[in-house]
Amino acid sequence: MSSLSRMLMITAFAAVAGIGAVTARQLLMVNSPVAPEINGFVLQQPRLLPAFELLNGQAETFTGADFAGAWSFLYFGFTYCPDICPTAMVEMAKLKTLLSASHPDLLAEFYLVSVDPERDTPQRVQEYVTYFDDNFKGLTGDLEDISNLAQTASVIHVIEPSADGVSYEVGHSSTITLLDPQGSIRAIFREPLRAATLADDVSQVLSYAELMKE
Amino acid sequence: MVAICLQAYTGLESFNHGVPVMQKLKTTIVEPASRIEKGIVVGWAVLVFVVIMVAAGLARFIVADISAQEPDNAVIARTQPSPDVAAGTIAVSDLWIRATPPGARTAAAYLYIRNSGDNDRLLAVRSERARSVEIHTTQEQSGMMRMSRLDSLAVPANSDLQLGPGGYHLMLVEISESFDPGDSVLMTLMFEKAGAMDVNFAVRDAR
Ligand SMILES: [Cu+2]
């Protein structure tokens, strides 16, 4: 047989297999819950966090295991930021209020993870977050651990050099990452971060997570 | 995934150098040699399936990513507050500073600018309460929110410009003390044509 007809056969076979695969996928999808449409991403498979060691606002070690037991909302930002971070923190505080009304039994924790550990000491992060809500928590630590965690949460961050080396800016993704009570990522909410939209989206993600259990 | 790819790759090699396939598939009794061919066929099916699943997954992600991208235009005011300070053809209003959290070293100031004359530019801003005041814009670039410093801010002829949260703002760098609700902060705005304007910003708790 010529190599041309062999190639044709391979192509035909690939096409048939492809159509089969797509059909099979469609059929399978019918039985699994459909991920809700939100302003961001819902993960169909919970994403595990990498091993990391950070410091909380009391300068105590904080690891992935410390996320267990409650739904966690993570915002990656920095306290030197005058505009976008405070705006996001305000929306996150409003989200907390909305959720405590709509889901009174939900255990939820809210974190600012600093992407500027050079300037953000545990104490600094703590005084910053509690300005927005008494129960907000701050995390900081080694840049490497922060980067590992950020990367898993699809957050990019970069320190922009400044002339004086002190008043530098940090560019970062402005998203809220939602972890389930097992500490795995379930959803990522993106800008514009508005409390009302977030509350609706969170509610949908929680229902979806409930369906996925079955 | 790597293992499957390797298997498929080996399969391709066999297709090119091995015995004719068609003939083997026609025979009903499976001989050892054609079992290998069957393995290859299965390998191919698995590869194609995996590729399609990955492509479908990626397409979904990419489409969602693109559709969620919003153009980060300058914030255009929806309301038009009445100007309260005017210098020639430039009028500014709704001047406010976000109250600062404890320990803050920076602050952001916002205002509404109306230009009823020719093209003008905001060149610089000064305040005694900060080491420097920079004109900033916040933009989404490659998935990151980044503030960038502008040398000046154009205020085109007969137009309005809103500086507001998440967009253009004045950034007060290395502030000397915290900005508390109720404070009034004097700043000087330097326009290219309209000249210097001394204006007061009200500190607001934006929580
Ligand atoms: Cu700024």
Any idea where the domains of chain A sit in the sequence?
3-213
Residue A192, preceding bond cis, omega within 30 degrees? yes
Q: Which of A155-159, A196-200, B28-32, B125-129 has the weakest average pLDDT?
A: B28-32
The β-bridge partners of A176 are A75, A189
Helix (H) or strand (E) holding A20: helix A3-31
Q: Which percentage of chain B shows pLDDT scores above 70?
A: 58
Q: Examine the pLDDT at A118 and tell me if it is beyond 70.
A: yes
With helix as H, strand as E and coil as C, how does chain B read? CHHHHHHHHHHHHHHHHCCCHHHHHHCCCCCHHHHHHHHHHHHHHHHHHHHHHHHHHHHHHHHHHHHHCCCCCCCCCCCCCCCCEEECCEEEEEEEEECCCCCCCEEEEEEEEEECCCCEEEEEEEECCEEEEEEEEEEEECCEEEEEEECCEEECCCEEEECCCCCCEEEEEEECCCCCCCCEEEEEEEECCCEEEEEEEEEECCC
Task: Report the residue of A9, A11, A28, A83 to disrupt the B interface, i.e. the one with the largest count of B CBs within 10 Å.
Answer: A83
Query: What average pLDDT does chain B have?
Result: 75
| B143-162: pLDDT as tens digits | 899 888 999 999 999 999 99
Shortest distance between the Cα of A49 and any Cα of chain B, in A, equals: 20
What pLDDT sits at residue A11?
Answer: 74
Distance CA(A100)–CA(A15), nearest Å, equals 52
Locate tokens 């530098």: which residue? A168
Residues of chain B found within 8 Å of residue A17, distances taken between Cβ atoms: 44-45, 48-49
Q: CA A162 to CA B104: how far, in whole Å?
A: 19
Structure-token match 């814009």, residue found: B137
Structure tokens, A158: 């970069």
What is the per-residue pLDDT across A133-174, written as a single tens digit (0 to 9) for each?
A: 999 999 999 999 999 999 999 999 999 888 888 889 899 999
The SS3 of residue B21 is helix
Q: What angle do CA A189, A192, A194 make, to 5 degrees?
A: 80
Query: Across the interface, do A132 and B143 touch by the CB < 8 Å criterion?
Result: no
In this prediction, residue A27 carries a pLDDT of 61
Tokens of A157: 């961050």
Check whether B16 has a pLDDT greater than 50: no
Please, are residues B132 and B84 in contact by the beta-carbon 8 Å criterion?
Answer: no
Q: What's the mean pLDDT in B174-191?
A: 96
User: What residue in A sits closest to B11 (Cα-Cα)?
Assistant: A10
**Partners of A137 in the beta sheet?**
A111
HSE, CB side, 13 Å, CA atoms: give it for residue B150. 18
Q: Does the distance separating the beta carbons of B41 and A83 come in below 8 Å?
A: no
Q: Tokens for A111? A: 């974190």
The answer to whether domain B83-204 has CATH 2.40.320.10 is no
- Name, in order, each residue with C-beta under 8 angstroms of A195's C-beta and a sequence gap of 6 or more: A91, A92, A94, A95, A97, A98
Q: Is the pLDDT of residue B29 over 90?
A: no
ipTM of the complex: 0.79
Question: What pLDDT score was predicted for residue A151?
Answer: 97
> In this structure, which residues have their CB less than 5 angstroms from ion ligand 1?
B 136, 147, 171
Q: Which two tokens stand for residue A163?
A: 């002339």
Tokens of A34: 């459909």
pLDDT at B128: 96
pLDDT tens profile B102-152: 999 999 999 999 999 999 999 999 999 999 999 999 988 888 998 889 999
CA dist., res. A109 & res. A125, Å (int): 15
The CATH architecture assigned to A3-213 reads 3-Layer(aba) Sandwich (3.40)
- Tokens 């298997």 belong to which residue? B7
| Distance, CA of B101 to chain centre | 25
Give this prediction's pTM: 0.72
Smallest Cα distance from B62 to chain A, Å: 11
Return the structure tokens found at B138. Answer: 């916040």
DSSP state of A37: P
Instruction: State how far the Cα of A84 lies from the Cα of A82, in Å rounded to an integer.
Output: 7
